[in-house]
Structure 1
Amino acid sequence: MKYRIFIIALSLISFNGFSQDVSNYFSKANAFFSLNVSNGKVNYSKINANQESLNEILKLAEKMVVSKENPQTYQAFWINAYNLAVIKGIVDNHPMKSPLDKKGFFDTTTYKLGGKTITLNDIENNVLRAEFGDARFHFVLVCGALGCPPLISKAYMPKTLSAQMDKQTKIALNGSFLKINTKKNQIEVSQIMEWYKEDFTKKGTTEIDFINSYRTEPIPSNYKLSYFPYNWAVNAQ
């Protein structure tokens, strides 16, 4: 009986410690984004001059292991981890004009996050897209370039994650993510929708169907769709 009580107590301590780590991670990430991101752009020079807070958050994230059984916490953790790692990658190569200036920025440079040694592409494609198949990831994962949807000045939080993802998707699809020519019945969209077309055309839907599910003013289904070039210039203030 005493042994069972000990195990239960130990489990509670472990659980509470883990919960505290998770809470601390989201709190510190939120403060970091609030201080260093404005109007979708990042103050890389400021972060480069004092990297302590960024490194502290990444150190917290290194040993945290989040479970897919709690999908909101899992997804929010990894979305923030991706965005923080992108900032770390750019700061580590500061100054840089584009994340593509660093060979392997997305596919070979690794970070220790969530108990894994992992690349940015692994987070996006294996940890998130492959597991959940949610096209809204493309509007919250920010690759450090102006062609990306804007980085928000707060962390993604488990309790508000879906609402935050919806909001960013709506902002992009009612804004600069697409260009409409009503005279020619044409719509140009970001190359993201070309590169990840399968995410936007599930269950027989078209890209325009997906766009219209978030548009204030729907795009006519007969409009011709094409893609405009991606802007890889760094999203610096």
Structure 2
Amino acid sequence: MSINPDIMKRTSYTLLLVFITTLSTFANSSKAFTEKADAFFKKYVKNGSVAYKAINLDKAEITSLYKEIGKMNLSSFSVNEKKAFYINAYNIIVIYWVAEYYPLKSPLDKSGFFDKVKHKVAGEDLSLNALEIKKLLLPYKDGRFHFVLACAAKSCPPLASFAIHPEKLEEQLNERTTMALNNGEWLRVVTADKKVALSKIFDWYKGDFTQKGSAIEWINQYRKMKIPTDYVIEYYEYNWSLNEG
């Protein structure tokens, strides 16, 4: 039996297109991006500190992730996939921007770090503030986001050494929030004076924690030892020194 060469060519071309399309879809998938982000965080983040110097010396991995963030198409993403993507994207952009201008003593040493410099995120030009507020805080009104987002500073809630996964989103948000709010250095209860010293995050983003009650009531959802609701709230000075490891 003879085989028509034209049919063979068309078949080969069709298979090639299917293969290329499959590769393209995987490259743009939530799973593929999360896995690469996860490997990056595990490599460079430890105990909430980031190895900016090592990243600065070899920028290939962070640069690849940064570029991928800009090209992502979220049209087929579920709500949890979008949330996880924006959280991971935010953290990668913060690290990328610090590494790009390393050495820095603080992210605030770079003018417009959070509010002016724009980055390509899934086809949109967004500052870090716009990414945080427009893509996470305003649409979903979830104060737990503050405990998984990097700010490159020592007073920021400790950055996880792993990516946020869509299928583990609720578990990871609760875990990181609980960890920070039960840390005696990060949240300081002074029983003798009936006071609690909170991070200025609770002042700057007060509305995220007082939608259904007081900030203390919100915090107590995640505290092992509840704080009396009549305790006076104070805010300790924010340490913007680089969270370098």
Q: Determine if the alignment matches structure 1 residue 190 to structure 2 residue 199.
A: yes
Between the aligned partners of 1:212 and 1:35, the Cα distance in structure 2 is: 33
Q: Give the structure 2 partner of residue 37 of structure 1.
A: 45
Task: Give the Å deviation of 1:68.
Answer: 8.8
Task: Give the Å deviation of 1:62.
Answer: 1.4
Between the aligned partners of 1:200 and 1:212, the Cα distance in structure 2 is: 11
Is the 1:190–1:230 contact (alpha carbons within 8 Å) kept by the matching residues of 2?
yes
In the comparison of the two structures, how many residue pairs are matched? 227
Between the aligned partners of 1:15 and 1:196, the Cα distance in structure 2 is: 42
Instruction: Say which of 182, 205, 218 aligns to 2:226.
Output: 218
One-letter identity of the residue aligned with 1:110:
K
Which SS does the other structure have where 1:147 is aligned? coil
Between the aligned partners of 1:161 and 1:231, the Cα distance in structure 2 is: 28
Q: Give the structure 2 partner of residue 7 of structure 1.
A: none
Q: Determine if the alignment matches structure 1 residue 75 to structure 2 residue 83.
A: yes
Q: Give the structure 2 partner of residue 59 of structure 1.
A: 67
Task: Give the Å deviation of 1:146.
Answer: 0.7
1:165 and 1:15, CA in 2 relative to 1: closer, same or farther beyond 3 A?
farther
Runs of at least 5 residues in structure 2 that lack an aligned partner in the other structure: 1-16
Is the 1:82–1:120 contact (alpha carbons within 8 Å) kept by the matching residues of 2?
yes
Is the 1:39–1:150 contact (alpha carbons within 8 Å) kept by the matching residues of 2?
yes
Which SS does the other structure have where 2:119 is aligned? strand
Q: Which is greater in Rg?
A: 2
Q: Give the structure 1 partner of residue 25 of structure 2.
A: 18
Between the aligned partners of 2:141 and 2:44, the Cα distance in structure 1 is: 30
Q: Give the % identical residues.
A: 40
RMSD: 1.9
TM-score, normalised via structure 1 length:
0.91
Instruction: Say which of 137, 156, 166 aligns to 1:148.
Output: 156
Task: Give the Å deviation of 1:212.
Answer: 0.3
Between the aligned partners of 2:242 and 2:189, the Cα distance in structure 1 is: 25
Runs of at least 5 residues in structure 1 that lack an aligned partner in the other structure: 1-9
Task: Give the Å deviation of 1:25.
Answer: 1.0
1:16 and 1:144, CA in 2 relative to 1: closer, same or farther beyond 3 A?
same
Which SS does the other structure have where 1:187 is aligned? strand
Q: Determine if the alignment matches structure 1 residue 136 to structure 2 residue 144.
A: yes
Moved more, 65-74 or 175-184: 65-74
Instruction: Say which of 79, 98, 104 aligns to 2:106.
Output: 98
Which SS does the other structure have where 1:202 is aligned? coil
Between the aligned partners of 1:130 and 1:213, the Cα distance in structure 2 is: 21
Task: Give the Å deviation of 1:14.
Answer: 6.0
One-letter identity of the residue aligned with 1:186:
K
One-letter identity of the residue aligned with 2:143:
A
Task: Give the Å deviation of 1:17.
Answer: 4.0
Which SS does the other structure have where 1:183 is aligned? helix
CA distances 1:111-163 after superposition (whole Å, capped 9, x unpaired): 11211111100111111111111000110111110111011111101000111
Q: Give the structure 1 partner of residue 125 of structure 2.
A: 117
Between the aligned partners of 2:100 and 2:24, the Cα distance in structure 1 is: 31
Between the aligned partners of 1:128 and 1:164, the Cα distance in structure 2 is: 16
Between the aligned partners of 2:239 and 2:108, the Cα distance in structure 1 is: 11
Q: Give the structure 1 partner of residue 188 of structure 2.
A: 179
CA distances 1:148-185 after superposition (whole Å, capped 9, x unpaired): 10111111010001110100100111013310111111
One-letter identity of the residue aligned with 1:224:
V
Is the 2:28–2:73 contact (alpha carbons within 8 Å) kept by the matching residues of 1?
no
Between the aligned partners of 1:19 and 1:188, the Cα distance in structure 2 is: 46
